[in-house]
Chains A and B, each alone.
Chain A
């Protein structure tokens, strides 16, 4: 069974960079049939896709966040990471990592439990 687990600081100061890691077990981030994604959800609100990374290292980002986001693979640790720069209170949210099956109409089949990140001084 595939499992994803988010980790990182739960509190980040405004203007700093948010850094999170997703640890994958039960699968390899180098297997070429999946994309690895980050999604966030502010309290009481809906889901917002942040971006994805493919096994080749190719990335796609939400246009609204593109200038501040970087997602990368850490293959030796079977992890992938998220960096979001110049954060503000609006970036406070529950952050999920998730796997997408690489097919036409790829679908999110496994999700992590989420990690709450608060942006505050």
Chain B
């Protein structure tokens, strides 16, 4: 079965750039989405179709996807960005989620 691999944790200082990666076999041939999940809340879409931001998502969130790796980048990271982040892609009509990355803003 298809798998997406994320680092368990990433730390960043306020105002710096956070990078969260998602690895999957030929992931660049699929569309990747990213979700932010804060404690006690439902996941929220922050990036879809590799690079697109839903309405209301700040411009500091951006995405890319090439080769085997999709990347979520948060520029000028704020305290409010501290959360779990999940990548997701479809493989033959099956949705696959990465294991999640805990982003800590130190």
Q: Chain A: residues with CB nearer than 8 A to chain B?
A: 37, 39, 46-49, 52, 60, 62-64, 96, 100, 104-109, 111-114
Contact = CB atoms under 8 A, between A and B. Distances in A.
Interface string B25-52: 0000011010100000011110011100
B48 A111 contact: no
B45 A49 contact: no
Contacts, number: 59
Interface of B: 1, 30-31, 33, 35, 42-45, 48-50, 54, 86, 88-90, 93-100
A40 to B, nearest CB: 11
A108 B99 contact: no
Nearest to B101: A46
A63 B98 contact: no
